[in-house]
Amino acid sequence: MTESLVDASEATWFAERCAALVRNVETLIRGKTEIVRLVTVCMAAEGHVLIDDVPGTGKTSLAKAVANSVAGTMRRIQFTPDLLPTDVTGVQVWNQEKKAFEFQAGPIFGNIILADEVNRASPKTQSALLEVMEEQQVTVDGQPLAVPRPFVVVATQNPVEHGGTYDLPEAQIDRFMMRLTLGYPDHAAEVEVLANRRGGQSAAAVTPVLTTADVERMIGIARRVHLSAQLLGYIVTLADATRRRPEVRLGVSTRGALALAAAAQAHAAADGRTYATPDDVKALAPSVLAHRVLLRPEAEMSGLRAVDLLGETLASVPVPNQRLAMR
């Protein structure tokens, strides 16, 4: 077995930090441990997450609780139809004293960006996120300006209210490492939510348990988690299999395969392991790949969902031997 670039002590530290963040968020968000853990894994892979669900399920509360758990710069952008691209990225302002233009940075210059109801902004404004989500920089008057690191966008959108909304283009959806759905809590968890809110608990009460230096170290550790050639081949085969399905108009992109590999590394580290396995890939595939699969109209009309097709694809692609995947 090839020795991993990550040692056991680093993986243990990573798992402890991940667990601490999950526990902290769960003081507010009840009964959604797996979803909270996936958001944490996504952040540790320095990926962006889209939380897509009906109103009132706690999308914004989850995003704020995660942001408040890190002692960095959290910026909230409330996306509305009249929001302009410069309201996101910033604008050049004339300085009368200096007789020159000065750049005033917009709210995108932060560590964790809460893009609330992102689909309410016009396509022109949504496009302001394309460069920064992919390249961690904003170009102003031809000059690239780097955003702070770590840089993670946590966006929310409402899939049932279409009045005054604009569907996210495929290019932007593809920039989200994960697309998650919260769903309603179970009975006991919902009772806890009601009791906590009556007691005045809110996302503002969530205090930091990690620093930005901690998150940067987690990102560095995740990138060094061992991915075998067999596992990389498995990921590419999965992506290619989605492109070959007759029901599919557009399959998983290479960016999607890269996102799955990075998420698998962070998922393994969150379990305290120095290497990723096929189980990491299978556990993450629905969240990382399903939103990148576009079905043909006739397949959608028949009731087929992308997540169902992805499940069939996972079942049909041979899984590499666990021992070989660790080498």
Q: Residue 230 is part of which domain span?
A: 225-327
| Helices and strands in the chain: count of H runs, count of E runs | 15, 13
Residue 265, domain CATH: 1.10.8.80
Please report, in tens digits, the pLDDT of each residue of the chain (327 residues total): 344 588 999 999 999 999 999 999 988 888 889 999 999 999 999 999 999 887 777 888 888 899 899 998 889 999 999 999 999 999 888 888 888 888 899 999 999 999 999 999 999 999 999 999 999 999 988 889 999 999 999 999 887 666 667 888 888 899 999 999 888 888 888 888 788 765 556 677 788 999 999 999 999 999 999 999 999 999 999 999 999 999 999 999 999 999 999 999 999 999 999 999 999 999 999 999 999 999 999 988 998 999 999 999 999 999 987 665 566
Domain-located, residue 273: yes
Q: Is 308 exposed, middle or buried (0-12, 13-18, 19+ CB in 10 A)?
A: middle
Query: Whole-angstrom Cα distance, residue 189 to residue 204?
Result: 20
Domain-located, residue 130: no
**CA 50 to chain CA centroid, nearest Å:** 6
Q: Single out the residue in 224, 250, 266 at which a domain terminates.
A: 224
In the chain, the number of structural domains is 2
218 and 232 co-located in one domain: no
pTM flag (> 0.85) = yes
Domain-located, residue 131: no
183 and 285 co-located in one domain: no
184 and 60 co-located in one domain: yes
